[in-house]
Amino acid sequence: MIKLIVGNKGSGKTKTLIKMANEAVANSAGHVVVVEKGLKLTYDINHKARLVDIEHYDVKGFDCLHGFLTGLMACNYDITHIFVDATLKIGGADLSAFTDMVDRLAGLAAEHNVNLIFTVSCNMEELPASLKGYAI
């Protein structure tokens, strides 16, 4: 399942992600992974979650982010949740490329029973119509 936490800068997307990630850690029988740009969430995310600083892996663009996320799913079948903060800072501002990535990940996430949650910094009106159904 894919979910998008959408809103402009300062709207509380990261706080929502932190709350959801910590709830997932408390309730999941598997592993929770939080991908972020930098290590600003170190003290906010439960220590049982795997915190990944994407900057260490030279991920640029949505094709590269897609490969990184599918690699996570391929190497650990116990992952139940992957949270990605600052998605557009990692992949770029191209919402069309983001849409393509989400479309490609949707089937794989369902197949592996992984919840993918992304924060997306934009107005809901800017979000492509095909992604609005994922917004929470």
- Convert the pLDDT of each residue in 87-132 to its tens digit: 999 999 999 999 999 999 999 999 999 999 999 999 999 999 999 9
Q: State residue 106's pLDDT score.
A: 96
Q: State residue 23's pLDDT score.
A: 98
| pLDDT-derived band at 25, boundaries 50, 70, 90 | very high
Q: State residue 35's pLDDT score.
A: 98
| pLDDT-derived band at 36, boundaries 50, 70, 90 | very high
Per the structure, the count of domains in the chain is 1
Supply the DSSP symbol for 48.
T
CA dist 63 and 132 (Å) reads: 21
Note whether 53 and 38 are within 8 A (CB): yes
Contacts of 101 (CB under 8 A, 6+ apart): 62, 63, 65, 66, 91
| pLDDT-derived band at 75, boundaries 50, 70, 90 | very high
pLDDT averaged over every residue in the chain? 96
Range 2-21 average pLDDT: 96
Q: State residue 43's pLDDT score.
A: 93
Note whether 49 and 34 are within 8 A (CB): yes
CATH code for the domain of 43: 3.40.50.300
Cβ density class 10-28: b for 16+ within 10 Å, e for less: eeebbeebbebbbebbeeb
pTM attached to this predicted model? 0.96
Domain containing residue 115: 2-134
CA dist 124 and 49 (Å) reads: 29
Nearest Cα residue to 103 out of 58, 134, 135: 134
